């Protein structure tokens, strides 16, 4: 075992702990991990058992559960290969520097100053385009291969690389600045020293204030608040940036209130990804031991929601839970369109090489410099793969980003990765988080049903009147009138929960709980007159606002809700007392114990139906509420005599002492004693409010052919309710549930069923997903990807990322992931397109994403409008730029053949540079403003988006059509120019008259073709056409080195150029018109 020790001086006690007794009464301790005669190695052996899976959770360290409940155990959780550790600490000094633990710095950057240039250049020259142009540019440094100006070939490549490197540098500097801000946050150690978050070390004792981010994985030692001797203190944390759940989680200090800690030792398990479990112990100076569990742990990136916390840092940096669950991309993302263009470029390169070899072969290999001729031809035909294509595509991406960010209908949308806007138009799988993404995480109680009658929002006054007349609510059983039933169910709901009221300095009370629907129910009981006034781990105080009286219940046992049990329960005893209100507080006099003990329980209807009696109406009413998208809970109760309770308590405590099978034994006792003859009280329906326009957005995306997966860390029941409410699951669609799979044969059976029912929705939990990923990955993804919807629950951040990568690898289709929490970052970064929502609790997902939006409904316009336009525009732009290069290359080929296969340039110097820039660039680039349909039609007919997934806009078929057009027009222009004017001039150079006709017809041909390709004219398109033509004609007088200027102003030049241009343009334009008439595109049919 690796033991990391940090030794400190023990000086004076800190002011926070001063005054507490140094004595440690044995009664204040929970059950020690070991007996007095056991040794330290026994504990470490048992920690090893936890890591090897022989002990499933911290509960197996022989520690009674907090609140006498049963904690969730995450079986087979991924563990680190690192070893367990021992951390010595003191409250009066900081630990020394140690290389045993990683630094506590956050780093989301992709490069360092040393690796930036090598890595970015490596990623750039992985592109066939850039590598090809680099070789061409380098060839111009060899005198025998030089053709024209060196800058003609080098300048465009340098420009493209410069733009790309500048963009990467800006993006990485932005990430570095955000990291520096997080690492520079100041935190106070208990010794009074302020330390930056990035400089915290294992063994530091830090003080955390309310609303501060937890900078490292910390064991909570004390709450730093004034507590009475019989209070243990508690704080709440927000974990939404870790697990996506915005509900507050309760955390308790490891130390009893009577202990003043000067120094100690923490023995903890090895670093792990498992955020739901933690095993360790706190060893005090006198040898006393306190077991540690997840209830004592504050994980990195959680936020302290209440109070003050004092804790010891046990894990830092990459060894924290958040650090081990995160992933980092190795470089910028590459769009699918760019990959497709890369493949087309390889075809063009092969064509160039074949053409060069063919021309040399046609002239004969007798010349000893034939290989030089081939190379010169390759350089001459380099326009076939135009470097301007990269320039145009890179600039177009910037235009798309500007259009997205300045769209007033999706305000504050930010494009953080400008290299993949076209991929927004090719998304086929959408992986979405639930909490904060589809929902607002705002719950509201909608309905309560008591068997014979139901009460909705409009019946609150009726319920309030029943509660106001409360008398002996825990009275006799039997058939009671409706008012009594209502009072009973309201009381049960007011007691059976894990909600804690907190009051701020202004006297404003808020509720905190592990589940937002619990808060919604407690708020509803407050609205009807029964308020949760106070709560600690031993008692609950209710205030009847109508009767002006309070009732205190002693909490004897609490059984928290788990995804396995799907229910929660509480055992209480009413405390006999008289209460009076003094300055708004309730004072107590005259306590004595009550006679009866009550067990209240609520849970999912499928579970509670087997527990409660007389449940004939539960299934029907539950179905009615589920169809409305409400989250349902069935409520019941049971009265226990003192004798029955004592019998239960003895059996339950005995089961809690077991080392093996403790959870099962304790649940068995609860089931056998408490969950028999439970009286049915009623059923509740709670609505999880969806974000604005989520339902229509999901429907539009489904119609657009996008398959939607909902990945959440939340419970199965919660996810199912939200899926139904959001219409992710269609009306009447069968939901096939797969949970807690552990055996391969069961997994095979499930896959066979799903394969035979491909129209169903799959609801699966994280444990089952992990089994599929580990044992039958390809079979699972093959079945799951054809389903219309998949709901995955209890997913870890790593599982979310694994699913995204799995779909990408198997389908080769574009995957979009959207989320709002820190737990979604891995998934977002693993996606082809990552979208982050600016959530209520932070911007971590937004900052890590390629696109940042304010709400889910913005995604619809991002995909169906901006994504579709970006893809179609870039596809048209790319094909036209290739066409432009092919035409001039074909002209060069015809000229070379006519001049006896000599590698002589037809268009030299400025003509070649000007043709790809000022003479044609702006009309071609104006395609970025084109649109084939209006925004309203694009949303009204989402099927238009579905067509894009096949990539027909830029396909091998469309590519070869453009090649054919280019070959035709290049041959016509050059052959007719040579025929009408002549080939060679008097100096054996290309005829300047012929060059003038050929080049002028070439430029005007491209301007006309660009105009005919435009679907919807924009004023900038008109300006580009007019200005470009004007610039060309104005520049002709400066082209005397290439043209015969006297001939250019003659009538023969005009009619010959017009004739060449007409024969070049009319057939392709006529063929396109006929094809559109016979087989019009879908957008043309819609416009008609």
Strand, helix or coil for residue 308: coil
Q: Are 815 and 708 in contact (CB under 8 A)?
A: no
Catalytically annotated residue among 247, 433, 663, 765: 433
- Could you write out the three-class secondary structure of 420-433? CHHHHHCEEEEEEC
Q: Given the structure tokens 């804790």, which residue do they identify?
A: 311
CA distance 888 to 873: 23
Q: What is the largest CA-CA distance in the chain?
A: 124
Q: Are 266 and 473 in contact (CB under 8 A)?
A: no
CA distance 402 to 396: 10
User: Which H/E stretch holds residue 544?
Assistant: strand 539-544
Report which DSSP code applies to 176.
H
CA distance 245 to 718: 11
Tokens describing residue 918? 């000022």
What are the beta bridge partners of residue 284?
264
Query: Which of 1009, 1000, 926, 1011 has the alpha carbon at shortest distance from 962?
Result: 1009
Measured over the CA atoms of residue 616, residue 619, residue 620 and residue 621, the dihedral's sign is positive
CA distance 610 to 273: 36
Query: Which of 911, 924, 934 has the alpha carbon at shortest distance from 990?
Result: 911
| Sequence-distant (≥ 6) Cβ neighbours of residue 789 within 8 angstroms | 707, 708, 709, 710, 723, 728, 729, 733, 761, 762
Query: Which of 313, 273, 316 has the alpha carbon at shortest distance from 103?
Result: 316
CA 49, 50, 51: angle at the middle one, nearest 5? 90
CA distance 757 to 734: 9
Distances (CA, A) of 300 to 202, 233, 278, 279, 315: 13, 21, 14, 17, 9
CA distance 361 to 294: 77
Report which DSSP code applies to 213.
B
Q: Are 980 and 1059 in contact (CB under 8 A)?
A: yes
Q: In what order do the strands lie in the sheet with 248-251?
A: 248-251, 235-238, 303-304
Q: Count of residues for the chain?
A: 1088
Identify whether 433 is a catalytic site residue.
yes
Q: Are 6 and 87 in contact (CB under 8 A)?
A: yes
Alpha-carbon dihedral 236, 242, 244, 249, rounded to 10 degrees: -20
Query: Which of 210, 249, 256, 216 has the alpha carbon at shortest distance from 233?
Result: 256
Q: What's the gap between Cα 921 and its chain centre?
A: 39
| Sequence-distant (≥ 6) Cβ neighbours of residue 380 within 8 angstroms | 147, 892, 896, 903, 905
What are the beta bridge partners of residue 529?
none
User: Which H/E stretch holds residue 496?
Assistant: none
Catalytic residue list = 433
């Amino acid at each position: 075992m690796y033991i990391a020790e940090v030794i400190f001086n023990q000086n004076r006690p800190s002011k926070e702990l001063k005054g507490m007794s140094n004595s440690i009464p044995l009664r204040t301790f929970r059950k020690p991990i070991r007996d007095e005669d056991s040794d330290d190695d026994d504990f470490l052996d048992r920690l090893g058992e936890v890591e090897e899976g022989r002990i499933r959770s911290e509960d197996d360290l022989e520690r009674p559960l907090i609140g006498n409940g049963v904690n969730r155990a995450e079986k087979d959780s991924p563990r680190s290969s690192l070893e367990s550790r021992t951390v010595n600490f003191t409250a009066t000094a900081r630990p020394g520097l140690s290389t045993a633990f990683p630094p506590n710095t956050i780093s989301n950057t992709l490069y360092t100053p040393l690796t930036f240039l090598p890595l970015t250049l490596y990623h750039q020259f992985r592109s066939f385009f850039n590598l090809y142009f680099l070789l061409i540019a380098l060839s111009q440094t060899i005198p025998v291969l030089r053709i024209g100006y060196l800058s003609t070939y080098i300048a465009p490549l340098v420009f493209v690389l410069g733009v790309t490197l500048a963009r990467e540098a800006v993006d990485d500097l932005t990430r570095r600045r955000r990291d520096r801000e997080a690492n520079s946050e100041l935190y106070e150690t208990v010794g009074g020293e302020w330390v930056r978050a990035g400089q915290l070390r294992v063994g530091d004792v830090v003080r955390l204030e309310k609303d501060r981010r937890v900078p490292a994985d910390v064991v909570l030692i004390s709450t730093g608040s004034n507590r009475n001797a019989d209070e243990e203190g508690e704080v709440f944390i927000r974990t939404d940036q870790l697990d996506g759940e915005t509900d507050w989680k309760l955390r308790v200090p490891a130390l009893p209130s009577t202990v003043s800690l000067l120094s100690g030792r923490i023995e903890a398990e090895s670093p792990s990804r498992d955020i739901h479990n933690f095993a360790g112990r706190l060893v005090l100076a006198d040898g006393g031991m306190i077991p540690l569990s997840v209830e004592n742990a504050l994980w990195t990136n959680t936020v302290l929601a209440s109070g003050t916390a004092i804790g010891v840092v046990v894990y830092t940096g990459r060894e924290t839970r958040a650090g081990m669950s995160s992933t980092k991309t190795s470089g910028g993302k590459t769009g699918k369109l760019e990959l497709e263009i890369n493949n087309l470029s390889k075809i063009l390169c092969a064509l160039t090489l074949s053409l060069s070899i063919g021309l040399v072969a046609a002239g004969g290999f007798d010349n000893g410099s034939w290989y030089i001729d081939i190379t010169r031809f390759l350089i001459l035909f380099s326009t076939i793969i135009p470097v301007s294509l990269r320039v145009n595509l890179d600039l177009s991406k910037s235009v798309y980003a500007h259009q997205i960010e300045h769209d007033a209908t999706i305000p504050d949308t930010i494009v953080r990765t400008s290299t993949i806007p076209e991929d927004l138009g090719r998304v086929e799988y959408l992986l979405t988080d639930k909490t904060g993404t589809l929902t607002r995480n705002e719950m509201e109680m909608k309905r309560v049903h008591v068997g014979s009658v139901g009460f909705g929002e409009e019946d609150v006054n009726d319920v309030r009147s029943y509660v106001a007349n409360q008398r002996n609510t825990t009275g006799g059983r039997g058939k009671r009138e409706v008012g009594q039933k209502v009072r009973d169910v309201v009381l049960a709901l007011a007691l059976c929960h894990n909600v804690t009221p907190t009051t701020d300095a202004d006297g404003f009370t808020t509720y905190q709980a592990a589940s937002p629907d619990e808060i919604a129910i407690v708020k509803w009981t407050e609205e009807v007159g029964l308020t949760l006034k106070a709560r600690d781990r031993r008692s609950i105080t209710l205030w009847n606002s109508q009767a002006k009286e309070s009732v205190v219940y002693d909490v004897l046992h609490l059984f928290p809700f788990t995804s396995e049990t799907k229910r929660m329960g509480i055992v209480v005893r009413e405390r006999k007392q008289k209460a009076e209100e003094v300055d708004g507080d309730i004072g107590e006099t005259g306590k004595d114990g009550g006679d009866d003990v009550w067990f209240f329980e609520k849970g999912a209807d499928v579970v509670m139906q087997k527990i409660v009696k007389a449940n004939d109406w539960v299934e029907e009413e539950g179905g009615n509420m589920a169809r409305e998208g409400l989250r349902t809970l069935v409520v019941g109760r049971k009265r226990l005599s003192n004798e029955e309770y004592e019998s239960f308590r003895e059996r339950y405590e005995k089961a809690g002492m077991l080392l093996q099978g403790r959870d099962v034994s304790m649940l068995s006792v609860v089931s056998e004693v408490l969950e028999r003859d439970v009286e049915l009280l009623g059923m509740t329906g709670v609505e999880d409010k969806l974000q604005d326009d989520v339902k229509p957005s999901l429907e539009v995306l489904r119609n657009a052919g996008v398959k939607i997966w909902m990945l959440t860390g939340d419970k199965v029941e919660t996810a199912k309710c939200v899926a139904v409410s959001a219409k992710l699951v269609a009306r009447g669609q069968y939901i096939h549930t797969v949970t807690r799979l552990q055996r391969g044969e069961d997994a095979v059976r499930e896959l066979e069923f799903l394969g035979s029912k491909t129209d169903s929705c799959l609801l699966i939990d994280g444990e089952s997903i992990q089994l599929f990923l580990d044992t039958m990955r390809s079979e699972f993804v093959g079945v799951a990807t054809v389903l219309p919807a998949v709901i995955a629950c209890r997913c870890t951040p790593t599982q979310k990322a694994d699913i995204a990568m799995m779909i990408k690898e198997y389908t080769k289709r574009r995957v979009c992931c959207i989320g709002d929490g820190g737990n979604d970052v891995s998934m977002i970064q693993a996606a082809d397109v990552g979208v982050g929502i600016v959530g209520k609790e932070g911007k971590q997902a937004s900052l890590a994403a390629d696109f940042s939006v304010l709400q889910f409904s913005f995604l619809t316009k991002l995909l169906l409008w901006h994504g579709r336009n970006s893809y179609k525009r870039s596809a048209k732009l790319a094909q036209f730029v290739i066409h432009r290069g092919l035409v001039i290359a074909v002209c060069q080929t015809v000229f070379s053949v006519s001049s006896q296969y000599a590698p002589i340039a037809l268009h030299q110097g400025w003509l070649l540079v000007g043709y790809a820039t000022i003479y044609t660039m702006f009309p071609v680039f104006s395609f970025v403003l084109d649109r084939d349909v209006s925004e309203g039609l694009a949303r009204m007919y989402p099927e238009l988006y579905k067509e894009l997934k096949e990539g027909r806009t830029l396909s091998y078929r469309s590519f070869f059509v453009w090649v054919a057009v280019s070959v035709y027009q290049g041959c016509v222009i050059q052959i007719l120019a040579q025929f009408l004017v002549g080939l060679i001039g008097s100096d054996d150079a290309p005829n300047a008259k012929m060059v003038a006709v050929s080049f002028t017809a070439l430029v005007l041909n491209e301007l006309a073709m660009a105009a005919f390709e435009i679907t919807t004219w924009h004023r900038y398109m008109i300006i580009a056409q007019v200005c470009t033509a004007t610039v060309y004609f104005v520049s002709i007088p400066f082209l005397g080195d290439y043209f015969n200027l006297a001939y250019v102003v003659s009538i023969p030049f005009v009619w010959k150029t017009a004739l060449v241009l007409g024969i070049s343009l009319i057939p392709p334009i006529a063929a396109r018109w006929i094809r559109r008439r016979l087989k019009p595109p879908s957008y043309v049919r819609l416009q008609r």
